[in-house]
Chain A
């Protein structure tokens, strides 16, 4: 994958901003993930050059935490909570339904780059179980039958 030059420059800058902090690796990775939606190996190498942390170690960190992703995430990241409370309230069916509609598995992104589905741990919104969030906005008590409508709402916003 070819990474654009500006992106590399920007990532170097992010590294520089944190160079006085002790062990800033995860802070840098979080910032890159939030800004670009993923941290590919090519950028990990850039971060390695800037911070002096071996690339293999960075790869180890990126693959350890579920927050980081090696492939780009969609414009809308859908979190389906599979914490205990949501799970017993049928979150699995909600997740399955989402996967069927979008034709992807949890962790994957649709081909048009619009949606990513992720199964997450408890969001602390158990009173609203089962909870689904899209880019941080929480949808309470989602039924499998409502999933289609939620997706449509975002597709409409995009005019697709």
Chain B
């Protein structure tokens, strides 16, 4: 994407991308969209070959100008995957195998029928459910941190822009003072999602109060707790939102550089985050003079090297500094003396993923 030079150009880009994404999802002009889950859980169950085969079949049947196919992030119900969802009908097929693709094409896409044996079965009463929106698991959900996940193509910055991406960054850069951002986050009551539960606004306030030429914001993506993969699904499903949250944090307490620390056990997340950072750099959303506002921010990515303790923030900082990941005694707290001795806030992935929403909607 070409560089976005100012806030107005961003607004225009957002409007274009939003229309495009909405058209795609709502089936405008009689078009349809197929979404295939490309989260780690479903990838392990052959969702890549399923995606490839759908793309191939669409071409072979000359349907590729009427039906699109997108690989999206985790649907959150990996045990029922791989998922194939058809829009605008909202038909959801579960536990799909590559061998099912032909049937889906012939019977469902071309024939307009529902394939009964691929539907979700409600474990409570054995009923089959056609639409994703009717599945009890999804009925009560409202996605905040996971905004856009399992809807957008995580590799395409335009889809993120079509899904509220960078509206919050624009808002803080053009109409909010750093202290107002901190106050808003304080008021929202957001607490760190990394386990400690420390109020995020207060952490930022500590770092903001220190006068220093260089400060850092670090995103903790080490996610060492067994069985947890919400950070993974965010980084895989909408990495742009996490980077946006990091930038807003940086603006709020005066950091001009951010480090992501993501565990090496998450190769898919690392690759998508890397791509997101590169795309944002191209679009001028990372780097010098962002949106022509004179504000600079740079983002780096470090991979973990396999040590549970590196999820602890001071050990993590040592690891970024290239040392053994041993925890440091506190105080001094990282907000006062962190990465390379500079004031640093360490925030969890999920914490940062919520920032954009809070700024957009208000506390």
Contacts of A127 in B (CB 8 A): 41, 78-79, 81
Interchain CB contact under 8 A, A67 and B324: no
Chain B residues with CB under 8 Å of A123's CB are: 40, 265
Q: A60-B324, A64-B325 are in contact. Are A26 and B227 (CB under 8 A)?
A: no
* Per-residue interface assignment for chain A, residues 123 to 146, with 1 indicating a CB less than 8 Å from any chain B CB and 0 otherwise: 111111001000011111000000
The stretch that binds B, out of A17-25, A92-100, A103-111, is A17-25
Q: What bracket does the count of chain A residues touching chain B fall in?
A: 35 or more
A65 CA / B222 CA spacing, docked (Å): 13
- Min distance, Cβ A150 to any Cβ of chain B, angstroms: 14
Query: Which of A24, A29, A121, A128 is the one whose CB lies under 8 Å from B226?
Result: A121
B residues near A65, Cβ cutoff 8 Å = 305-307, 325
Q: Which residue in chain A gives the minimum CB-CB distance to B301?
A: A27
Q: Is A120 an interface residue (CB 8 A)?
A: yes
**For residue A26, which residues in chain B have a CB less than 8 angstroms away from its CB?**
302, 305, 319-320, 322
**Pick the contact of B305 from A21, A30, A57, A122 — CB < 8 Å?**
A30
Q: Which residue of A lies closest to B257 (CB)?
A: A22
Contact partner of A124 (CB less than 8 A), chosen from B264, B265, B320, B325, is B265
Q: Any chain A CB within 8 A of the CB of B159?
A: no
* Interface residue? B51 (CB, 8 A): no
Instruction: Report chain B residues within 8 Å CB of A60.
Output: 324
Looking at chain B's contact residues, the main secondary structure is: loop
Cβ of B303 and Cβ of A30 under 8 Å apart? yes
Question: B350 in the interface, Cβ–Cβ < 8 Å?
Answer: no
- A24: min CB distance to chain B, Å: 7
Closest to B77 in A: A127
Q: Does A8 contact B (CB under 8 A)?
A: no
Given contacts A65-B306, A67-B306, A84-B227, contact A125 B321 (CB under 8 A): no
Q: Does A7 contact B (CB under 8 A)?
A: no
Q: Which residues of B contact A21 (CB under 8 A)?
A: 300
Determine whether A66 belongs to the interface, using a CB cutoff of 8 Å to chain B: yes
Considering residues A26, A61, A85, A138, which has the most beta carbons from chain B within 10 angstroms of its beta carbon?
A: A26
Shortest beta-carbon distance from B281 to chain A in Å: 16
Residues of A within 8 Å of B81, CB to CB, are: 127
Closest-CB distance, B122 to chain A (whole angstroms): 18
Residue contact B340 to A68, C-beta cutoff 8 Å = no
A127 to B45 Cα, complex, angstroms: 11
Contact, CB under 8 Å: B307 / A126? no
Q: Indicate if A114 sits at the interface (CB-CB under 8 A).
A: no
User: Is there contact, CB below 8 Å, between B305 and A66?
Assistant: yes
- Is B226 a contact partner of A84 (Cβ separation < 8 A)? yes
- CB neighbours (8 Å) of B322 from chain A are 23-27, 53, 61
B41 touches A125 (CB 8 A): yes
A29, B78: Cβ atoms closer than 8 Å? no
In the assembled complex, B308 has its CB within 8 A of some CB on chain A: yes
Determine the distance from Cα of A68 to Cα of B303 in the docked complex, in whole angstroms. 13
| Interface-centre pick from B44, B229, B300 (highest chain A CB count, 10 A) | B44
A84 to B229, CA, bound (A): 13
Q: Please, what's the 1-or-0 string for A1-37, where 1 marks a CB less than 8 Å from any CB in chain B?
A: 0000000000000000000011111110110000000
Query: What 5 A-B pairs have minimum CB-CB distances, sorted nearest first?
Result: A25-B322, A138-B44, A65-B305, A124-B229, A66-B306
18 contacts between A and B (CB under 8 A): A22-B321, A23-B321, A23-B323, A25-B323, A30-B305, A57-B323, A66-B305, A67-B264, A67-B304, A83-B226, A120-B265, A121-B306, A121-B308, A122-B225, A127-B41, A128-B78, A137-B44, A140-B44
